[in-house]
Amino acid sequence: MKKNILIKSIIIFLTLTIYSCENSKTEKTELVYENGNQKVEIQILNGNDYLEYDKLTETNFMLTNIEPNTFSVYGAGIRVLGTKNGTMKTEIKVPSNYLETDTLNVKVRFGIKPEENHEFNIPMKTAE
């Protein structure tokens, strides 16, 4: 009888442990959009997957199978520096208290079809 209770307790403990580990995963910011063979990837060159308020951050938009002349990017504080070899170089600097939420919405557009539009949501943090 004690053996059955011990086994049931271990099973419950393991189940709860596995469940809590699964739910505590940190959410990775999605900085890649793919549509068939076309791909847009945002590289934040400070090594983070977020931006900091009031801090100028260099970013690259890596384009795969997208004509750079048809590509455009929209968002608060974004300045395009130039495009070369499928890479659009930009700088992003968002003033603090500018956004309603701590998320920068970056919209990209390429081509003429609606599915060739995408919105990235990049987390914003206060510089420490």
Percent of the chain with pLDDT over 70: 75
pLDDT, one tens digit per residue, over 97-112 is: 888 899 999 999 988 7
CB 15 within 8 A of CB 21: no
Closest listed residue to residue 54, CA positions, set 92, 90, 96? 96
Closest listed residue to residue 111, CA positions, set 59, 33, 58? 33
Return the pLDDT at 20.
54
Beta bridge partner(s), residue 73: 108
Return the pLDDT at 6.
62
pTM value surpassing 0.75: no
pLDDT, one tens digit per residue, over 15-68 is: 655 655 544 344 456 899 998 899 999 999 998 899 999 999 999 999 999 988
